[in-house]
A and B are shown apart, each in its own frame.
Chain A
Amino acid sequence: MKTSLLKKVWRPFLAILLFIGLWEVATRLFSIEEWLLPSPSDIVMEARNVIPTFLPHLGSTVTLSVSGFLIGTTVGLGVATILHLMPRVRETFFPFIIISQNMPIIVLAPLLVIWFGFNALPKLIIITLACFFPIAVSALGGFTQTNRELVHYMKMMGANKAQLFWKLELPHAVPSIFSGLKIAGTYSVMAAVVSEWLGAQKGIGVFMTLAASSYRTSRVFVAIIVAMVISLAFYGLILLLEKFFIRWQQKGENV
Chain B
Amino acid sequence: MLELRHVSKSFGQKQVLQEISLHVASGEFVSLIGPSGSGKSTLFNLIGGLLGPDAGEIYLNGEEITNKHGFISYMPQQASLFPWRTIIENVLLGQELQGKKDYELAEAMLERAGLGDVIHAYPHELSGGMKQRVAFIRALLSPQSLMLLDEPFSALDEFTRTDMQKWLLSIWEDYEQSILFITHSIDEALFLSDKIIILSVNPAEIKDVFEVPFIRPRDGDLLLSEEFLQWKKKIIDVIQF
- Residue B231, interface by CB 8 Å: no
A19 to B44, CA, bound (A): 64
Q: Between A and B, how many residue pairs show CB distances below 8 Å?
A: 70
A250 and chain B: residue at smallest CB distance = B124
Identify which of residues 159-209 in chain A touch chain B, using a CB-to-CB cut-off of 8 Å.
159, 163, 167-168, 171-172, 174
Identify which of residues 221-255 in chain A touch chain B, using a CB-to-CB cut-off of 8 Å.
246, 248-250, 253-255
- Residue B84, interface by CB 8 Å: yes
Interface size on B, residues (CB 8 A): 30
Query: Is A150 touching B97 in the complex (CB atoms < 8 A)?
Result: no
- Residue A158, interface by CB 8 Å: yes
A152 to B71, CA, bound (A): 15
Query: Is B93 touching A167 in the complex (CB atoms < 8 A)?
Result: yes
- Interface of B: prevailing SS: loop
Known A250-B124, A253-B124, A255-B123; judge A158-B70 contact (CB<8 A): yes
By a CB distance below 8 angstroms, the chain B residues around A174 are 84
B 59-89 to A, binary, CB cutoff 8 A, 1 in contact else 0: 0000000000111111010111111110000
Query: Is A157 touching B94 in the complex (CB atoms < 8 A)?
Result: yes
Partner pick for B78 among A149, A154, A158, A253, CB 8 A cutoff: A149
Query: Is B74 touching A157 in the complex (CB atoms < 8 A)?
Result: yes
Q: Report, as a range, how many residues of chain A touch the other chain.
A: 20 to 34
- Residue A13, interface by CB 8 Å: no
- Residue B16, interface by CB 8 Å: no
Q: Which of A155, A156, A254 has the most CB of B within 10 A?
A: A156
B interface vs A, CB < 8 Å? 44-45, 48-50, 69-74, 76, 78-85, 93-94, 96-98, 122-124, 142, 148
A interface vs B, CB < 8 Å? 147, 149-150, 152-159, 163, 167-168, 171-172, 174, 246, 248-250, 253-255
5 new A-B pairs (CB below 8 Å) besides A152-B50, A156-B48, A255-B82? A156-B74, A158-B69, A158-B71, A158-B97, A248-B122
